[in-house]
Structure formats: structure tokens, C-alpha cells
Chain A
Amino acid sequence: MIKAAGGERFSAHPDRQRFHRELLRAVERARNLGSALAVLFIDLDRFKRINGVFGLDAGNRVLREAAARIRKCVREDDGVSRVGSDEFAVLLEGIEIPSLTSSIAERIRTEFTQPFEIAQREAYISASVGVALYPRDGESAEDLLKRSDLAMYQAKTAGRDICQFYSPESESRVSRKLDMESGLRRALKRGEFEVHYQPQTSLADGSPTSVEALLRWNSPELGWIPPAQFIPLAEETGLIHSIGAWVLETAMIQARAWQDIGLRPMRMCVNVSAKQLNQNLVDTVARVLDKTGLPVSSLELEITEGVMVGKDAVTGAALNDLRAMGIGFAIDDFGTGYATFEYLKRLPVRTLKLDGQFVRGVCDNNDDVAIITASVSLARSLGLRLVAEGVETAEQHERLRKLGCDDCQGYHVYQPLPAATLEKVLAKAQPGAADRPRLTIAR
């Protein structure tokens, strides 16, 4: 317990139990008096980085100052406790006036917009604040603590540096996210992931030139979950490394298998997120290339423009190593990121993937046509392959061909398919290949 009024104390160790006991007593009082109370759950954003970079002593000094800042924002007798390594809880009793709770919570958040001074340097550590009210949000100490924690978690998810009041709707969203997180941790072991493949075909003659490997997750508890939902979570939890490595290996082994049965050579395109670009990824690529004997030119890594803009030293080193190995890159969602062409000079970019939003307007929107025309000309001058994504109609296909785009990808030509299905489709379109033994990898 930290008491600022009259001799400030700072507990070196978090004491959640103690806070819980105080809360139990406060709830009892509130029940007897018909009064309201609020629990504020405060988590310092990215605090672990401070410990990592500046050491534990600096970390402790920050925690001490954080406690003092919180104390400054509350009333003299309000309880402020440290309940986790970088978590604090505030207990506001007799808080019948809702605006008072929000103004205290907001004051705490604002207090943390000021920098902390660590080793003669300024560091910014924002705070995410979750609030639960008695009796509205819960009538027991357990519920109030859990729900203020949930609201804090939601504040963090919403982008940090935010105050969030508990709401039942947010609880169901958060608990779905928590379910998804625990599911995601088990998914790889339980074999719930699948890679589907979507061919990219030449607009000139319709022949497949590449396939994009697309991750699918079929959770027994949650059903099919779109990558847009679970990839950010995988990135947040660090699971992206093991999942990404598995996708890469699966796709590369598949590419080799298809070459072995005599399918027309196609590049295998695998998406790689910014978080994955480190030495582990480089090692995985080298190991699997070695293991499968897949020609380097058959692998293309798809990255977004954002990767190039926000890249740090680790990402830069990984990109350099991959370039040295002869790996080619495709720029995914081309045109939707940041207008910087500098990376086109420095990276072995082979392919630009024009985002589907421009393709949608290719038949009737002059701006989209102008953007596609400019992209075609840019790709030609730099000797790059331009792939139009999200092609859904014959009319779009024809217009893109006339504009001089190289390849296309989309439901009009092929939808993403499981390996075995796609293999049959491609083999049928290519007499001779189907006669050989099937080498689709069993999962």
C-alpha cells in the first residue's frame, strides 16, 4: 500500500492479496451504506522495455514515481496499491458522482503523458486505465477487480494511453480475444492450421505463374477464423514466429513436391509480417531451402510497404541476409502504404501486388485507371512483375490485360484451395502431370 499523505511508502513487491482484502472491506461498507465505489486498474504501457533497457533499478525508480503521480491525482484517503509488476489499483469509495470517477481516471492518464527522467534521458510511459463501478459493474470484490482488469485490457487493445469503463459488451469481445489467444497457443500442436494456395495467372495466356500460400485456421472451439483476426494476435503474443516458420516450411515443401510431379514451375509466394523479419526467419529459409533443394528463385516473400517504412536494425539485417541468399520480394498491397520508392532500389523486389481496391474501379473509375496505368509504367521501367489482386469479374480481367498488367489473382480465376484440390485442378489443365504419383504432403 502506498500512502502519500503523511510518509509515503512504496512497496517493492506487488501485493494483490492486500488490495483484495481492502476491496472486500470497502465493498462491505458500500453495501451497508448504499454507497458507490470505483476500482481503477492502471497498467503502465511498455514498462518491461524500461527494465530491459535501463535495468531494474531504473525500473523501480519509475514505479516509485508512477505511484507518486497516481497518488497526486486521487483524494487524500483513496487507496493506491501496486497489484502487479507494472500494475496499480486505485480504490475510490463514496464516489456517487460518475463524473468524478472519470475525471480522476482521466487525470491519471494525463499525468502519464509527461515524460519520466531515466538516466538523464526522457522516456515516455503512458498508462492504460480500466474502471469498474460498484454496484453497476459488479457486487463482489472479485468481479470488480476482474472487470476493471478487463476494461484495462480493452484500453490497451484499443491503442494504449486510454481510460476505459467496463461494459458487458467489451467483456464478451475481450473474452473472445482471450479464448482466441489460448486457442492460438494450442493450434499449431493440434494441427488446426492449414495452408491454402491461390494461383496467380498470366493475363496474356492464363497460365499459372505463381501461387500464394494463405494460412487458414479452423479452431474446433471458434470455427474458421479469418487471418485478419488472428494474425495481429499472433504478432502481439510472439506466436507469429513459430506459426510463420510452419507456413514457410509447409509451403516450400509443397512447392518442391509440385515440381517433383512435373507441374509447370511456379513461384511460391509466402507472406511475411514485419514482426517475423529477424534472424530466426533467415535461418528457417536457409534450412528449408537446404532440406528441400527448392531453387531459391522459386521462393518469393511478400512484405507490405509498411515493413520498409517502420523497419528497425533487426528487420534491416534480416532483409539484407535474405537478399544475400538471393530471395526475391513481392510488395503486397502496393499503393496503400506510404509513398516511398526508396526500397525498390535497395531490395531485390521482383513483384508489385496492386491492391484490390484499385482493381475494383478498373472498369468505371478514372482515378483507379490512372493509378493502374502509372503502376504498369513503373513496373515496366523497373523490370518488375505487376500482379493485380482481387480480380473478380471477366470484365476486370480484360481491362487489366489491355492496360498491360502482367498477372492477376482473384476469385475470377482461382479461389484459394487446399493443396490436394489445387493439385488436381492444375494437373488437369496440364496433361501429363496428373499421371505421376501424387506428392501432396499429408498433414
Chain B
Amino acid sequence: MQGMTRPSILVVEDFAPLRSSVIQWLRVRFPGFHVKGVGSAEEALEHARISRPDVVLMDIDLPGINGLEATSLFRVRSPATAVVMLTMHDTPSHRQAAAAAGAAAYIAKTEIEDRLGAALEDLLGDRAKGMS
């Protein structure tokens, strides 16, 4: 992929087995992506300071800073990073809160297989297509 860097995805999820499921699935679905996982919003923000990920997949219920607060912080500190909420909560109020915090997309955990691939392709455009 000349002229394009590998898209990078950061998975923020405190439940390690789920984090590893998502990472494993992403690596199969998008073999060209750079995928990393962390267990808290603090680690995510620290990581973003050094290497700015293209997309963050953010859980809501996180220890310490929760996912909604972290999303707002990302908008300020790393405006080029798109935040996708990836959560078990699937209520209108959660969705509204996520949109207000600046999330680019909202995906329930049960819909990962059906929607996450398309959402990433939407956000990354041609870069995703070249890498999947």
C-alpha cells in the first residue's frame, strides 16, 4: 500500500477474554491493520499520546475514567482519532450520551460480527479496503 500507512486500532476493554476475542477477530478480518488492546481509559490515553490510533473501540463500563468521559477526552487530545463505542448497553440514552461525547459510531457487543467490519470500513474509507 504505497502512500498509505497501516490503519491502527486500539481496543479498550477491561474484560481480558473479550478484549482478546475482539483483537483476534480484527486480525483475521483485517490482517493488514495494526491492532492493540488495553484494559483502561487511562492506558488508552497514555497510548494515544505516543502513537495516535486511527480508531479506538471503547467500552463504556471501565474502571477509573469511564468510556464516555474518555471519548470526550479523545476528541480534545487526539481529534483525528475516531471513537467507536463497543458496549453491552444498548439503550437510547446510552446512544445519546455516546453521540454527545463525540463517538463516531455505536455498536452493541452482540453485533460485533455483523456491524463492526462495515463501521471500520466506513471510517477508514480506502485505507480499510486496501488492508482487509
Contact = CB atoms under 8 A, between A and B. Distances in A.
Contacts of B17: 35, 75, 77-78, 92-95
Nearest to B110: A96
B20 A75 contact: yes
Given A35-B17, A75-B20, A95-B21, 9 more contacts: A76-B20, A77-B20, A94-B15, A94-B20, A94-B21, A95-B18, A97-B22, A97-B25, A100-B24
Interface of A is mostly: loop
A34 interface: yes
Interface string B1-35: 00000000000000111111110110010000000
B43 interface: no
Contacts of B109: 34-35, 96
A339 interface: no
B18 A96 contact: yes
Contacts of B22: 96-97
A78 B20 CA distance: 10
A-side interface size class: 10 to 19
Given A97-B113, A98-B113, A33 B15 contact: yes
A4 B6 CA distance: 32
Contacts, number: 54
Interface in A58-98: 75-78, 92-98
B24 A94 contact: no
Contacts of A75: 17, 20-21, 24
Contacts of A35: 15, 17-18, 88, 109
Contacts of A103: 28
B131 interface: no
Given A33-B15, A35-B109, A100 B21 contact: yes
A366 interface: no
A99 interface: yes
Nearest to B90: A34
13 contacts: A35-B15, A75-B21, A76-B20, A77-B20, A92-B17, A93-B18, A94-B17, A94-B21, A96-B22, A96-B110, A97-B22, A97-B25, A99-B113
Contacts of A94: 15-21
Interface of B is mostly: helix
B38 interface: no
Q: Which 6 pairs from chain A and chain B are nearest by CB?
A: A94-B18, A94-B17, A34-B88, A93-B17, A96-B109, A97-B25
Interface in A84-124: 92-100, 103
B22 to A, nearest CB: 8
A29 B14 CA distance: 13
B112 interface: yes
Contacts of B16: 77, 94
A75 B37 CA distance: 15
Nearest to B88: A34
Nearest to B16: A77
Contacts of A76: 20
A98 B110 CA distance: 9
A103 B24 CA distance: 11
B66 to A, nearest CB: 15
A35 B87 CA distance: 10
Contacts of A29: 15
B20 A97 contact: no
Best-surrounded residue of B20, B21, B112 (most CB of chain A within 10 A): B21
Interface string B39-82: 00000000000000000000001000000000000000000000
B54 to A, nearest CB: 21
Interface string B85-113: 00010000000000000000000011011
Contacts of B24: 75, 100
A352 B21 CA distance: 61
A95 B19 CA distance: 9
Nearest to A101: B21
Nearest to A37: B17
Interface in A32-56: 33-36
A100 B25 contact: yes
Contacts of B18: 33, 35, 93-96
A37 B110 CA distance: 12
A33 B17 CA distance: 12
Best-surrounded residue of A76, A77, A96, A100 (most CB of chain B within 10 A): A96
A276 B18 CA distance: 52
Nearest to B61: A33
Interface string A3-36: 0000000000000000000000000010001111
Interface in A236-279: none
B118 to A, nearest CB: 15
Contacts of B19: 94
A96 B116 CA distance: 12
A435 B88 CA distance: 85
Nearest to A29: B15
A312 to B, nearest CB: 45
A441 B5 CA distance: 89
Contacts of B112: 96-97
A29 B18 CA distance: 12
A265 to B, nearest CB: 72
Contacts of A100: 21, 24-25
Contacts of A92: 17
